Amino acid sequence: MKIGIIICDRYRKCAGGKCFRAMQNREGAFDIYDKRKPIDIVGYTSCGGCPGGNIEYAPEEMIKNGAETIHFVTGLVVGYPPCPYIKEFKSYIEKRFKIKVVIGTHPIPQKYYLMHNILKTWKSNEWKKLIKPTLSTEAIRKSYD
């Protein structure tokens, strides 16, 4: 499987450690992939900053490099506030480039899960659907704190 990863620009200096760990362990949004088959990252970039100027161009390069799926990092849903454009970005990329977009990479860290519950960020059914790939179990979420 060849994937591209798009990060939120506010995390542009992130080294990707949690994402790569989750990819190796097939945790979070990576649990959809067979552990016996390799995952190759063919692109890793930021959205370009609000309102996501790089969203128009980066997927095309990733596809040229063989991307079969594009993942938005978990930071887009756990940041304060979560990305206000995430649904539009996903829709645009899937329609424009005809490629699947997965929301999330590593499991949501427990500390973010607890805070967003207090803030009621993810109360709507729409948000529940968006965080589902990265929800995991409490034990796994704690291991990503």
Which whole number is the average pLDDT over 97-123?
A: 97
Cα–Cα distance for residue pair 97/84, rounded to 1 Å: 21
Q: How many CA atoms lie within 13 A of 56 on its CB side?
A: 5
Confidence (pTM): 0.94
Which strands form 40-46's sheet, in the order they lie side by side?
A: 40-46, 2-7, 69-72, 100-103
Total domain count for the chain?
A: 1
Question: Among candidates 142, 145, 143, 140, which has minimal Cα distance to 31?
Answer: 140
Which whole number is the average pLDDT over 19-27?
A: 97
Which whole number is the average pLDDT over 99-108?
A: 98
User: For residue 125, is pLDDT > 90?
Assistant: yes
Q: For residue 42, what are its two tokens?
A: 């063919």
Instruction: State the residue range of the domain holding 39.
Output: 2-143
The tens digit of pLDDT for each residue in 86-99 reads: 999 999 999 999 99
136: confidence class by pLDDT, cuts 50, 70, 90: very high
12: confidence class by pLDDT, cuts 50, 70, 90: confident
The tens digit of pLDDT for each residue in 33-88 reads: 999 999 999 999 999 999 999 999 999 999 999 999 999 999 999 999 999 999 99
